[in-house]
Amino acid sequence: MEPVVEIKNLTTSYNGEPALQDITMDICKGEFVGILGPNGSGKTTLLKSVLGLLQPVKGEIRLFGGPVDNGARRRMGYIPQKGSVDLSFPIKAFDAVMLGRYPMIGLFRFPSRSDRQAVEETLKGVDAWHLKDKPIGELSGGEAQRIWIARALVSKPEILLLDEPTTGLDVKSQGQIIDLIHHIHKERGLTILYVTHEVNNVSCYLDKVAYLKRNLYAYGPPNEVIKAETLREVYTGEVEVITEGGRPLVIVGDHCHV
In the range 140-199, which residues lie near other proteins by CB under 8 A? Answer: 151, 155
Q: What CA–CA distances, in Å, run from 51 to 33, 64, 124, 147, 198?
A: 16, 13, 27, 20, 23
- Distance CA(47)–CA(61), nearest Å, equals 11
Query: Which residues are CB-neighbours of 49 under 8 A, at least 6 positions away?
Result: 7, 10, 12, 20, 56, 61
DSSP character string of 92-109 = BHHHHHHGGGHHHH-TT-
Minimal distance, residue 29 CB to other proteins, in Å: 21
Looking at beta carbons only, is 49 or 203 nearer to other proteins?
Answer: 49
Gap between the Cα atoms of 132 and 122, Å rounded:
11
Q: Which of residues 91-130 bind other proteins (CB under 8 A)?
A: 91-92, 95-96, 99-100, 102-103, 105, 107-108, 110-111
- Least distance in angstroms from the C-beta of 32 to other proteins: 21
Least Å from the CB of residue 201 to other proteins: 25
Q: Does 89 bind other proteins (CB under 8 A)?
A: yes
Q: Choose between 80 and 165: whose C-beta lies nearer to other proteins.
A: 80
Selected from 57, 87, 204, 242, the binder of other proteins by CB under 8 A is: 87
Among 88, 244, 254, 255, binds other proteins (CB under 8 A): 88
Region 17-76 residues binding other proteins, contact defined as CB under 8 A: 51-53, 70-71, 73-74, 76
Q: How far is the CB of 216 from other proteins (least distance, A)?
A: 23
CB 141 within 8 A of CB 168: yes
Q: How far out from the chain centre does Cα 158 lie?
A: 13
Residue 257 zone, left/alpha/beta (φ > 0; ψ -120 to 50; rest): alpha
| Distance between CA atoms of residues 254 and 239, nearest Å | 9
Residue 137 within binding range of other proteins, rule CB under 8 A? yes
Instruction: In angstroms, give the least distance from the CB of 73 to other proteins.
Output: 4
96/246 Cα distance (integer angstroms) = 41
- In terms of Cβ atoms closer than 10 Å to its own Cβ (0-12, 13-18, 19+), residue 136 is buried
228 contacts other proteins (rule: CB under 8 A): no
Q: Does 232 bind other proteins (CB under 8 A)?
A: no
Task: Report the residue number, 28 or 53, with the smaller CB distance to other proteins.
Answer: 53
Task: Give whichever of 9 and 117 is closer to other proteins, judged by the CB atom.
Answer: 117
With beta carbons less than 8 A apart as the criterion, state whether 191 and 159 touch. yes
Of the pair 59, 135, the CB lying nearest other proteins is at 135
Please give the residue ranges that form the binding site for other proteins (CB under 8 A): 15, 51-53, 70-71, 73-74, 76, 78, 80, 84-92, 95-96, 99-100, 102-103, 105, 107-108, 110-111, 135, 137-138, 151, 155
